[in-house]
Amino acid sequence: MELYKKKENINGKEIKIKIWDTAGQEQYRSLTRNFFHATEGILLIYDITNINSFQQVKYWMQCIHDNASENVKVVLIGSKSDLEKDRVVSTEDGQALANNLKIKFYETSALKNINIQEAVIDLTTQVLSVKKEINDAIKLKQLSDENDLSKNQAQGCGC
């Protein structure tokens, strides 16, 4: 298992990103389930030249559903798009699966540096959006609680 650390500047903020790469290996399956609990975003990657890796996407989505928070964001990635001659999973099949799962989809190539940064930034932006929504909801609740307390005190109900 490899850990990649990356910093991205998104909307004027420097964001620290940690990417754990398990390559879907069997030996990491129990370990990755534990990672899901604290994970805010997941890049779910399959190899467009390997039908088995594509078929495993549904298994991993079920693991995510069973183990991650309801706010986790997922982006589906078909990797190795530079290997068109070896392709066994069509772009249309990848997009259809992503649509079915209601997640974003990218095809990428590490060799040619295609769509990698775009996918990471998209996922990070989605995560930041959820965090903002949660923070806004917390602030709204606090304001509501403060207003309720003020009303109670004004009506002589406060101690």
3-state DSSP assignment of residue 158: coil
CA-CA distance, 75 to 41, in Å (whole number)?
A: 8
CATH architecture of 2-130: 3-Layer(aba) Sandwich (3.40)
Parallel, antiparallel or unpaired: strands 13-21 and 41-47 = unpaired
pLDDT tens string 82-111: 999 999 999 999 999 999 999 999 999 999
Domain range list for the chain: 2-130
**How far is Cα 47 from Cα 127, in angstroms, rounded to an integer?**
24
Nearest to 36 by CA among 55, 60, 59: 60
Which residue is listed with tokens 């772009």? Answer: 91
Query: CB neighbours of 101 closer than 8 A, spacing ≥ 6?
Result: 61, 74, 76
Q: What is the pLDDT of residues 135-145, one digit of tens each?
A: 666 667 666 65
pLDDT of 77 > 90? The answer is yes
Question: pTM of the full predicted structure?
Answer: 0.76
